Structure 1
Amino acid sequence: MARLEMENADFAGMGAGANADILFEMGLACATGRNGDADLVAAHKWFNIAAIKGSPRAGALRAEIAETMNKAELAKALREAREWMTRH
């Protein structure tokens, strides 16, 4: 996961101006394990942020992933999304 975070540092640094499509793609990469192991917590985080930025597809996938997560994972994903939004 760290690899994905590092590769997408340019996008994450965009903050409030980040494009919802880019954030959606980051969620897809995490969900599918495109750059390593799948990370549903990170996928939920990026889909959540993309949904907030206006991506309707992200909201649907966020809900789908949430159904497979336990309460602790979901809480972590929500906390990480909130922290990202606060920083950016």
Structure 2
Amino acid sequence: MARLDLQGAGTPCAGGTAQPEMLFQLGMMYATGRDCDMDLVAAHKWLNIAAIKGSERAAQMRAELAGAMSKAEIARALREAREWMTQH
């Protein structure tokens, strides 16, 4: 199982760029199956959160990824991202 320390994920650092980059990398990890099982819903979720926090690369990758997902998968990813944003 992949592990990433998200403690402090609500705290911007390095001018606010470290958090979106970390979230982008988490999304890419799930998108490619690097160190974990590939999970497009999780990948879309983390890329969406990174995009919301200002990552243009995440927004581009999220759009590409959405082309390989069903509408139900996209809806689930958006719901999970919204829930995470509400809690953090």
Residue 16 of structure 1 is matched in structure 2 by: 10
- Equivalent-residue separation in structure 1 for 2:71 and 2:77 (angstroms): 10
- Equivalent-residue separation in structure 2 for 1:36 and 1:53 (angstroms): 24
Spell out the pairing of 1:11-50 with structure 2 (5 A cutoff).
Answer: 11=6, 13-17=7-11, 19-50=19-50
Q: Percent identity?
A: 57
**4+ runs of 1 displaced by more than 3 Å?**
none
Structure with the greater alpha carbon radius of gyration:
2
Over aligned residues, Cα RMSD in angstroms?
1.2
- Equivalent-residue separation in structure 2 for 1:45 and 1:60 (angstroms): 13
Residue 79 of structure 2 is matched in structure 1 by: 79
Shift of 1:87: 0.3
Q: Deviations over 1:43-67 (max 9, x none)?
A: 0000000001110000000000011
Asked if structure 2 preserves the Cα contact closer than 8 Å seen for 1:21 and 1:50, the reply is yes
Q: Which runs of 5+ in 1 are unaligned?
A: none
Higher relative contact order at CA 8 Å, sep ≥6: structure 1 or structure 2? 1
Select the structure that is richer in helix.
Answer: 1
Q: Which runs of 5+ in 2 are unaligned?
A: 13-18
TM-score, normalised via structure 1 length = 0.86
- Equivalent-residue separation in structure 1 for 2:71 and 2:41 (angstroms): 11
